[in-house]
Amino acid sequence: MAVRRRENPLRIVDIEDDTVLSLESIQGLWTEEQYLTMTDHSRRLLEFDDGVIEVLPMPIPEHQKILAYLYRRFFAFIDTLGGIVLFAPLRIRVRSRKFREPDLVILLDANDPRQEKRFWLGVDLALEVVSSDDPERDTKVKRKDYAAAGIPEYWIVNPLDDTITVLVLEGDAYVEHGVFGRGALASSKLLAGFTVGVDEVFDAK
């Protein structure tokens, strides 16, 4: 999911959404605990990067339809294996002082000890649906973040060009397992036997 902080400034608002107090001047000074407390009591999706709280935009219906379809497909597959599939909001601590909220995450073991009460310490697969306001956030920035976090597989679902890019971790960087366009079946390396039709994903109703 994408964010441009200048278009989504961090602020305190009244019931009519008028700014009461801008918080931009203290960006970079937030602590992890302050971020966690804020997100515990917010209806917005927020991410955290070295003291900066990043406000995520509200997802559009197309984004949510794609995500809902993928959740159903992954759930049907993972549930039989004893794993777990969840979707945002769910905080993932990718490293000290950095939290992300992937659109969809998978753990192969539903009892994985990385599941802490307030946030998770990692996942086996992360998926993002690319947003048009800042596509590089999902295709480049989070690619580096999730690789550095040691997440074995990362799916980039891009409705801007109707492609699904499946990345697998080799060493400390991702390599392409495949870039799948319309007419193809996107497949996972981590989840042997799992495929999803690209057309069905981007035509989801």
**Residue 58 confidence (pLDDT):** 84
Average pLDDT over residues 132-161: 95
pTM of the model: 0.86
Model confidence band, residue 3 (pLDDT cutoffs 50, 70, 90): very low
Contact 104, 71 (CB under 8 A): yes
Name the token pair of 110. 């539903």
Name the token pair of 183. 């007419």
Model confidence band, residue 9 (pLDDT cutoffs 50, 70, 90): low
Distance, CA of 137 to CA of 4 (rounded, Å): 9
Domains in the chain, CATH or no CATH each: 11-55 (no CATH), 61-202 (3.90.1570.10)
Distance, CA of 155 to CA of 15 (rounded, Å): 38
Lowest-pLDDT range of 24-38, 55-69, 93-107, 152-166: 24-38
Decide the pairing of beta strands 153-158 and 125-129: parallel
Name the token pair of 202. 């981007």
For residues 18 and 194, the model is more confident at 194
